[in-house]
Amino acid sequence: MSSYAFIGKSMPRVDSRAKVTGEAQFTADIKLPKMLTGKILRSPHPHARIVDIDVSAALRIPGVKAVITGRDALQRKWGVFGYTQDQQFLPSDKVRFIGEEIAAVAAIDEDVAQQALECIRVEYEILEAVFTTMESLAPGAPLLHDDFPNNINIHVPINVGDVEKGFAKSYYVREDTFTAAEDSYFQGEPYAVVARFDMDNNLEIWMPNAGPHMKAKPLSNALGIPLNKIRVRKITIGGAFGGRSEISPADFVCALLARKAGRPVKIVYTREENSIATRQGHALITTIKTGVREDGRVIARDVTCYMDGGAYSSTGPIAVSVPFLCMEQAYKMDHVRYNGYRIYTNKPPRGMIRIHGRAFACGVDTQLDMIGEHLGIDPVTMRLVNAREPGDFTNTKSHVASCAMKETITKAAERSGWDDKWGKLPPLRGIGIGCNSVQTGFPMGIRGGSQAIIKLNEDGGATVISGVVDNGQGNDNMLVQIAAEELGVRTEDVQLVTADTEVTPSDPGAYSQVSTFIGGHAVKNAAENVRMQLFETASRALNVSVDDLVARDRMVYVRDSPDKGIPLKKVVRMILAQGKAVCGQGEYWPKVDPKREWVKNPFGQMCGAFSFGTTIAEVEVDPETGKVTVLEVTAAQDVGFALNPLVIEGQFQGSIAMGGQGGILTEGHVWEGGSVLNPTQLEYKVPLACDMPKINTIIIESNDPEGPYGTKESGMSIAMSAAQAYAAAVSNAIGVYMTDFPLTPDKILEALRNKAEAEPVNQEQDEAKGLEIVVPAV
Amino acid sequence: MNKQPLEITVNGESYSLAVEPNRTLLELLRDDLDLTGAKEGCGEGVCGGCTVLMDDKPVRSCLTLALEASGRHITTVEGLAQNGELDPLQQSFIDHGAVQCGFCTSGMLMAAKGLTLSKPDADNKEIRDAMSGHICRCTGYTKILEAVEAVVDRSKEKR
């Protein structure tokens, strides 16, 4: 029985009331006086030099208040890192993908704005374009960026031990290649921005974001305005999933339009724009060579990965590293070599996504199953033999303080009935397991830590000021839970001022699952500071030591003697009467190695904690249609400590939908050259309620020594492991190891056909098998 | 474009308006009446975020012209709560953790409301079918279905 009032308890989220009544305001819901509609003209060409842009006809249209092109911008190149500065918002030299921003208008309404866009004349000189990593790398291929030879945007080389020696010592070695198409976020809310300047040139801007401070600094640089004049405001956000981590060209364009027009401007992306002009997931080609002992333990692994990065760097160095990191955290290896390449192509830029690098992750696990089959070892044992353990160091020298990976495997196996099912299911039924590990944070330089401020009002209510942002995952509730717990007030006593760069101190944002671990930690520390101020005054009034006091249910009282106490608001008033504020700050800085760098020095402590997840999926394949029906999914994750089990279950369920159900069965972009053929929800199939299986969730608590209350990441380890489990289950059902994702019906049917051709079986048996399948369906 | 007269009742309030023939019901609600609870997620009737009730039946307001709603009663998510009391569906969505980012929530609620009005004794399969025209990217649908099932089950118990 925990001694907490709110921590560790399932509680409905504080933000849900506004969301069920329609009161919650998203960016597109904002309406400001004299606000204009902004629209962006996009390149129809994948690669072309901009010769001339003539906007004069657009400017003559009544109702058009501003038109901008690259000439209106400072023409600085932006990048997340100093060595990845390759993107000029509103480019003036050339366009590099279909959909790239070329000009924009602000007008009195959408119809006028649209009409104005159609009047802008752009003269292009068409350049040769490249659409796949292999085309880009081919000798003589056109360069996207002159300063990046061979179209190699990023190369992350990691070499630990001696893989060749490891392979020589191995009992069994095999090499396989896995591929996947681009995937997309399809956040509920299409991207939108509202911007306005005041007469002192202060910019006020609203947009979905995964970190307001991460938006403000690049905007400050791109616009040439001091940081304290950029006010990224809090707004309800309709999902991020990794896709709203950076400045968007739309932020910059909207701000420029607002400045030029002298009026507020709103840009709302269409669903198509959200797909082609924000971010996408990378397409991957991953070759994995693994050598094992006779008992299945991996001795050496050599991975080469080509990631299709699209036209610009985005979070390139991180994107190339994370698939490797997830693997080295989840599984032990004595020797490992990694060569990760992010390659430019004339397609939309790619960023981090919830199931980042699915071909990599699914490849590692599929290959473990292949090896297990060769050795006669079942998949669960293969995972247990290789699973990360607490106290270990990863190959790149991160200490893993807390880890219940093995427990996630055994508990998930038990709950799913693995032993009764593996190898015993009827034809075309399959079961598969996937394991993964996700970082709780990573070195982020000056914005790697979070600071929070809490003030108490004279009635005992609290205001929490924190840079933490809520993209929909429940971060606001997390902050309220922590503050209420530490201050001894009720959750309804806590007000939030968050995610507003004018007011809230620095915070890394909702990146890499770090909000609770870092931002929540800072709020916890701030609340402890304020509580100590209360205790110092209360201890004098009650004549006891501060160590004997507790704060709970709006009271400060002597431990184990609730009758001997003072109402919290009275303590506040006692302090205020002394002329002091009841206000405190707290900060948290993660214990990461600041010298660790993605490309130059990928060694040292990566992050404060690592989480571990196992998913097991059971599926059935229809051999006539290739359709996969998912019967049951079991997900177990070591989350450190469950702050709010209700919210964590929701994260698990959503992760299974996006990572497994969508990520492996249906989701992938289809292309014709540089054109996305499925940019809308009509053609890009995300899961619906009718697709979802029965889900079992198992929360495992390893109580991380560093995380607040022992917490670490929750959810993403499930999204990743769900993808791996779905892939493994389909392979198991059809008896073919699938290596190209997503596993759409056409690929499954082709695999079944190839298998039938390769293994001619007894005619009678075949017919009997066919009947067996057809009869129940009739 | 010439504006046409439109008599419409929204959340119990009557309006006499003049609207352009190409104005959608969603535009009318969001831009003219400031009822921004209905969301535009796709603009082509796929995501379900713009769902409102027209004479108690769920419709996609992005595919419905405002003039089609002439003489009809429209209910939006803002009209679900009565006298400050949340509709049981709204409360159930909160209690079951069915709300994450919240962008799909109003459409989900209106679909569920339409179902409970037309078929108060719906079984779980019917609930799932009714909710399957709505895209949610956060929840995996489990808690949304549980929230609707709880309300339907409670009303079954009462009868």
Contact A402, A329 (CB under 8 A): no
Are the beta carbons of A653 and B43 separated by less than 8 Å?
no
Q: Are residues B72 and B92 in the same domain?
A: no
Q: Are residues B72 and B97 in the same domain?
A: no
Query: For residue A632, which amino acid is it?
Result: E
Kindly state the DSSP code that residue A608 receives in the 8-state scheme.
Answer: S
Contact A301, A336 (CB under 8 A): yes
Are the beta carbons of B102 and A15 separated by less than 8 Å?
yes
Are the beta carbons of A26 and B103 separated by less than 8 Å?
yes
Complex ipTM value: 0.98
Question: How many A/B residue pairs have CB atoms within 8 Å?
Answer: 180
Tokens of A211: 């970190």
**What residue spans of A224-331 are helical by DSSP H?**
249-261, 271-276, 316-330
Nearest partner of A508 among A475, A552, A472, A541, judged by Cα: A475
Contact A299, A166 (CB under 8 A): yes
Contact B29, B10 (CB under 8 A): yes
Contact A92, A71 (CB under 8 A): yes
CA atoms within 13 A on the CB side of A54: 6
What is the model's pLDDT at position A2?
54
Nearest partner of A121 among A72, A67, A64, judged by Cα: A67
Are the beta carbons of B100 and A654 separated by less than 8 Å?
yes
Contact A257, A216 (CB under 8 A): no
Tokens of B65: 């012209």
Q: How far apart are CA A770 and CA B39, in angstroms?
A: 48
Q: How far is CA A349 from CA A90, A191, A254, A762, B22, in A?
A: 15, 16, 20, 51, 36
Contact A576, A517 (CB under 8 A): no
Pick the last residue of a domain from B27, B45, B79.
B79
Chain A's closest residue to B108, CA to CA, is A20
The CATH number of residue B38's host domain is: 3.10.20.30
Chain B's closest residue to A23, CA to CA, is B37
Model confidence pLDDT, tens digit, residues A579-633: 999 999 999 999 999 999 999 999 999 999 999 999 999 999 999 999 999 999 9
What is the model's pLDDT at position A772?
40
Tokens of A126: 């068409």
Q: Which residues contact A397 (CB under 8 A, 6 or more apart)?
A: A603, A604, A605
Kindly state the DSSP code that residue A84 receives in the 8-state scheme.
Answer: G
Pick the last residue of a domain from B79, B98, B130.
B79
Mutant choice from B63, B80, B137 vs A, greatest count of A C-beta within 10 A: B137
A686 close contact with B: CB closer than 8 A:
yes
Secondary structure element (H or E) that encloses residue A366, with its range? helix A358-375
Tokens of B17: 């308006």
Contact B151, B92 (CB under 8 A): yes
Are the beta carbons of B97 and A650 separated by less than 8 Å?
yes
Q: Are residues B110 and B154 in the same domain?
A: yes
Q: How far apart are CA A590 and CA B62, in angstroms?
A: 47
At residue A313's C-alpha, the angle toward residues A106 and A142, to 5°, is 95
Q: Please give, rounded to a whole number of angstroms, the shortest distance from the CA of A187 to a CA of chain B.
A: 6
Tokens of A527: 């609340």
Are the beta carbons of B141 and A471 separated by less than 8 Å?
no
**What residue spans of A12-92 are helical by DSSP H?**
16-20, 56-59
Give the 3-state DSSP-derived string for chain B, with helices as H, strands as E and coil as C: CCCEEEEEEECCEEEEEEECCCCEHHHHHHHHCCCCCCCCCCCCCCCCCCEEEECCEEEECCCCEHHHHCCCEEECHHHCCECCECCHHHHHHHHCCCCCCCCCHHHHHHHHHHHHHHCCCCCHHHHHHHHCCCCCCCCCCHHHHHHHHHHHHHHHHHC
Residue A567 three-state SS:
strand
Concatenated DSSP letters of A176-238: EEEEE-------SSPPEEEEEE-TT--EEEE---S-HHHHHHHHHHHHT--GGGEEEPP-B--
Mutant choice from B23, B99, B135 vs A, greatest count of A C-beta within 10 A: B99
Are the beta carbons of A688 and B135 separated by less than 8 Å?
yes
Tokens of A679: 């940019």
The CATH code that applies to domain A16-22+444-588 is 3.30.365.10
Q: What is the dihedral of CA A468, A13, B43, B26, to 10 degrees?
A: -120
Q: Boundaries of CATH 3.90.1170.50 in chain A?
A: 31-127+189-238+244-276
Tokens of A263: 């009026």
Q: Boundaries of CATH 3.30.365.10 in chain A?
A: 16-22+444-588, 283-443+596-751
What is the model's pLDDT at position A443?
83
Nearest partner of A209 among A658, A654, A520, A510, judged by Cα: A510
pTM value > 0.90: yes
Nearest partner of A475 among A439, A511, A516, A508, judged by Cα: A516
In the numeric block, the tokens 């279950």 are attached to A649
Enumerate the residues of chain A whose CB falls inside 8 A of the CB of residue B36. 22, 25-26, 28-29
Model confidence pLDDT, tens digit, residues B62-76: 999 999 999 999 999
Model confidence pLDDT, tens digit, residues B14-42: 999 999 999 999 999 999 999 999 999 99
Nearest partner of B147 among B103, B101, B111, judged by Cα: B111
Surface of A (223-242) touching B: CB under 8 A: 236-239, 241
Instruction: For chain A of 778 residues, list the mean pLDDT of each consecutive stretch of 10.
Output: 86 97 98 98 98 98 98 92 95 97 98 98 98 98 97 98 98 98 98 97 97 95 96 98 94 98 98 97 98 98 98 96 97 98 98 94 98 98 98 98 98 98 98 97 87 97 98 97 98 98 94 92 98 97 96 96 95 97 96 95 96 98 98 98 98 98 98 97 97 98 97 93 98 98 98 92 50 37
Among B93, B138, B139, the residue with its CB nearest the CB of A20 is B93
Are the beta carbons of A680 and B42 separated by less than 8 Å?
yes
Chain A's closest residue to B37, CA to CA, is A22
Among B77, B134, B145, the residue with its CB nearest the CB of A21 is B77
Q: Which residues contact A771 (CB under 8 A, 6 or more apart)?
A: none
Kindly state the DSSP code that residue A632 receives in the 8-state scheme.
Answer: E
Enumerate the residues of chain B whose CB falls inside 8 A of the CB of residue A187. 101, 103, 137
Tokens of B114: 């339409």
Q: How far apart are CA B97 and CA A539, in angstroms?
A: 40
Surface of A (640-659) touching B: CB under 8 A: 646-647, 649-650, 652-658
Q: Where on the phi/psi map is residue A604: left (φ > 0), alpha (ψ -120 to 50), or beta?
A: left
A471 close contact with B: CB closer than 8 A:
yes
Q: Please give, rounded to a whole number of angstroms, the shortest distance from the CA of A321 to a CA of chain B.
A: 26
CA atoms within 13 A on the CB side of A460: 20
Enumerate the residues of chain A whose CB falls inside 8 A of the CB of residue B80. 20-21
What is the model's pLDDT at position B26?
98
Q: What is the pairing mode between strands A494-498 and A462-466?
A: parallel
Among A236, A689, A695, the residue with its CB nearest the CB of B102 is A236
Contact A514, A441 (CB under 8 A): yes
The CATH code that applies to domain A283-443+596-751 is 3.30.365.10
Pick the last residue of a domain from B79, B99, B120.
B79
Q: At what angle do helices A249-261 and A212-223 cross, to 10 degrees?
A: 60
What is the model's pLDDT at position A761?
62
Concatenated DSSP letters of A86-143: -B-SS-SSEE-STT-EEEEEEESSHHHHHHHHHT-EEEEEE-----SHHHHHSTTPPP
Query: For residue A61, which amino acid is it?
Result: I
Domain that holds residue B96: 88-158
In the numeric block, the tokens 């290596």 are attached to A739
What is the model's pLDDT at position A771?
41
Q: How far apart are CA A483 and CA A527, in angstroms?
A: 6
What is the model's pLDDT at position A665?
98
Among B46, B102, B132, the residue with its CB nearest the CB of A689 is B132
Are the beta carbons of B139 and A471 separated by less than 8 Å?
no
At residue A16's C-alpha, the angle toward residues A14 and A21, to 5°, is 130
Tokens of A492: 């309804």
At residue B113's C-alpha, the angle toward residues B112 and B116, to 5°, is 85
Are the beta carbons of A22 and B106 separated by less than 8 Å?
yes
Contact A30, A196 (CB under 8 A): no
Peptide bond into A742 cis (omega under 30): yes
Contact B139, A650 (CB under 8 A): yes
The CATH number of residue B126's host domain is: 1.10.150.120
Q: Please give, rounded to a whole number of angstroms, the shortest distance from the CA of B149 to a CA of chain A.
A: 13
Indicate the CATH number of A31-127+189-238+244-276 among 3.90.1170.50, 3.30.70.1140, 2.40.10.10, 3.10.129.10: 3.90.1170.50
Q: How many structural domains are present in chain B?
A: 2
Q: Please give, rounded to a whole number of angstroms, the shortest distance from the CA of A29 to a CA of chain B.
A: 6
Q: Are residues B32 and B74 in the same domain?
A: yes
CB atoms within 10 A of CB A601: 11
Chain B's closest residue to A682, CA to CA, is B46
